[in-house]
């Protein structure tokens, strides 16, 4: 009988331990690492490119050639039918949605296989730099941003 109680205590301790581990695991729900003002450091030519993200995960990306805006897109993390998406507005006639398929504390990847370019967009934080990649099957563009004040 003493051995049975000891066995029950071990099972109870194990279950309790598993519950603690599961409850302590933090689920990543948003890409907080994006928040801030970022300037691209790997531009070609005299263009300057920026991304600015606020705490509501709304952003704007734009490029300047001298003082003229030559490119602008509105970026938002949105939720639709229980899934998260990166919504890009201002490039195509209608907003384009990229489903977030992977989200960690310091990165996310989103896809839209039916979009001509890009089909995949990835963002990640590495050595205090924001890095991004936009790609389809044939072509990739890499972005490296430094945070600005």
Please write the tens of the pLDDT for every residue from 54-66.
Answer: 999 999 999 999 9
Does pLDDT of 136 surpass 80? yes
The pLDDT of residue 5 is: 55
The residue that leads in pLDDT, 61 or 5, is: 61
- HSE-CB for 140 with a 13 A CA cutoff: 8
Give, in order, the Cα–Cα distances in Å from 18 to each of 6, 21, 22. 19, 5, 6
Which helix (H) or strand (E) element contains residue 65?
A: strand 58-65
**pLDDT category of residue 87 using cuts at 50, 70 and 90:** very high
For the ranges 41-45, 52-56, 60-64, 105-109, the lowest mean pLDDT is seen at: 41-45
CB 33, CB 125: distance < 8 Å:
yes
Q: Which pair of structure tokens corresponds to residue 121?
A: 């967009």
């Amino acid at each position: 009988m003493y051995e049975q109680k000891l066995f029950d205590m071990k099972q109870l301790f194990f279950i309790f331990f598993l519950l603690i581990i599961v409850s302590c695991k933090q689920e990543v729900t948003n890409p907080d690492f994006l928040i801030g003002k970022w300037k691209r450091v790997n531009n070609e030519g005299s263009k300057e490119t920026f991304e600015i993200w606020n705490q509501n995960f709304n952003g704007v990306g734009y490029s300047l050639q001298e003082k003229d805006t030559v490119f602008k897109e509105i970026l938002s993390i949105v939720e639709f039918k229980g899934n998260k998406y990166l919504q890009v507005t201002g490039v195509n006639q209608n907003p384009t949605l990229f489903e977030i398929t992977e989200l960690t504390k310091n990165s996310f990847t989103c896809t839209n296989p039916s979009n001509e370019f890009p089909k995949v967009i990835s963002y990640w934080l590495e050595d205090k730099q924001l890095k991004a990649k936009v790609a389809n099957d044939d072509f990739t563009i890499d972005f490296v941003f430094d945070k600005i004040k």
